[in-house]
């Protein structure tokens, strides 16, 4: 603590940073909890012959947040994998990712670094159909790339290591960057994949559409079943809740430390004022009872009795007999801190 009981700059920054992190984590936790509650309250509908009747009865022919499970089927032409034969899909994502080691000048360690240098995603219209495909009901999936979780499957992955000469190695050590290679990945949402869609379900003329919801809730096209998707979100909520509680306790500990320091400073100031008041009262008693000259002969320890002892061998006259008796052993002169070998009573005439 600085003078006046105020916290130091470092302590103030620590408290402010801890409070800000706690508030940020709590905000993320609240958002995750809202998403989990919304997902838990989403209406589950079956992809069967009754789906159209359900939408006709709903207000505005729309279910704002619905859960539907089906199998992917292409509406038009499918997308073919560039690396795997007979692999057809409706969403294709090709990614080139650079892998390298970067020298950290602070920790003096080589750290892994990854950077996407190229990514291309292609889509084609597709529907969700029943697994049995005998009900004749389809749901058109709109804007699949807007989904918070899109169940793509990695169908091809290959790492191309960098070929380096000795000169390149020396240059990389000087520059602080060591290329490891390029990773090539292809991901696809294949035809026939079981998909769980969570979003707005609307009947538009004769077409049933699944699209991003309008209430700010996330849009899901997941390869997980609904129960697994819900458990995943609840696990995320628990994780952020634990982080919030931990940083909240840390903030409370810092605040308690600062308040305790300030309280102790206040107590010390109060004790100092009390001692000053007692000293002032002792001076007033000496001045009021025996005149101004008595103050010069007051005991330097208690300031309330007259000096009555001569300390030998130093010869100082500074204490009354009661204060001499109260001195800790080995007894030393309060003035010069020399050891007292003998005490001679002092008689004032």
Domain boundaries, given as residue ranges, for the chain? 63-224, 295-345
Longest dimension (CA), the chain: 127
d(CA 272, CA 5): 14
User: What is the CATH code of the structural domain delimited by 295-345?
Assistant: 3.30.40.10
Q: Which whole number is the average pLDDT over 113-128?
A: 92
**Beta-carbon count within 10 A of 79 CB:** 20
Phi, psi of 17 (to 5 degrees): -65, -45
How far is residue 291 CA from its own chain's centroid? Answer: 70
SS3 229: helix
Residue 45 has pLDDT above 60, yes or no: yes
d(CA 280, CA 185): 86
d(CA 217, CA 237): 15
Strand 177-190 to strand 220-222: parallel, antiparallel, or no bridges (unpaired)?
unpaired
Encode pLDDT of 260-305 as tens digits. Answer: 888 888 888 888 888 888 777 776 766 654 444 445 677 888 877 7
Give the global pTM: 0.67
d(CA 134, CA 136): 6
Encode pLDDT of 63-111 as tens digits. Answer: 999 999 999 999 888 999 999 998 999 999 999 999 998 888 888 888 8
């Amino acid at each position: 603590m600085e003078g006046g009981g105020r916290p130091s700059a470092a302590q103030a920054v620590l408290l402010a940073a801890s409070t800000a992190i706690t508030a940020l984590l709590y905000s993320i936790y609240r958002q995750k909890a809202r998403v989990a509650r919304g997902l838990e309250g989403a209406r589950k509908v079956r992809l069967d012959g009754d789906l159209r009747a359900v939408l006709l009865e709903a207000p505005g022919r729309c279910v704002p947040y619905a859960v539907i499970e089906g199998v992917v089927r292409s509406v038009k032409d499918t997308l073919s994998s560039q690396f795997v034969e007979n692999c057809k899909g409706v969403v294709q994502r090709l990614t080139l990712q650079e892998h390298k080691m970067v020298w950290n000048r602070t920790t003096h360690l080589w750290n892994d670094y990854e950077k996407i240098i190229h990514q291309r995603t292609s889509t084609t219209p597709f529907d969700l159909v029943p697994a049995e495909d005998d009900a004749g009901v389809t749901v058109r999936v709109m804007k699949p790339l807007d989904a918070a979780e899109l169940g793509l499957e990695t169908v091809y992955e290959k790492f191309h290591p960098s070929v380096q000469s000795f000169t390149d190695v020396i240059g990389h050590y000087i520059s602080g960057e060591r290329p490891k290679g390029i990773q090539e990945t292809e991901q696809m949402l294949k035809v026939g994949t079981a998909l769980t869609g969570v979003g707005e379900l609307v009947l538009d003329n004769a077409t049933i559409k699944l699209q991003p919801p309008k209430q700010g809730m996330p849009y899901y096209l997941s390869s997980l079943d609904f129960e697994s998707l819900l458990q995943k979100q609840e696990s995320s909520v628990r994780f952020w809740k634990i982080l919030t509680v931990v940083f909240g306790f840390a903030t409370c500990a810092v605040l308690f430390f600062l308040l305790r320091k300030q309280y102790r400073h206040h107590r010390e100031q109060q004790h100092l004022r009390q001692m000053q008041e007692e000293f002032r009262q002792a001076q007033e008693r000496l001045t009021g009872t025996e005149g101004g000259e008595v103050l010069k002969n007051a005991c330097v320890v208690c300031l309330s009795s007259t000096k009555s002892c001569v300390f030998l061998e130093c010869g100082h006259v500074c204490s009354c007999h009661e204060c001499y008796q109260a001195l800790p052993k080995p007894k030393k002169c309060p003035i010069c801190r020399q050891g007292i070998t003998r005490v001679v009573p002092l008689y004032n005439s």
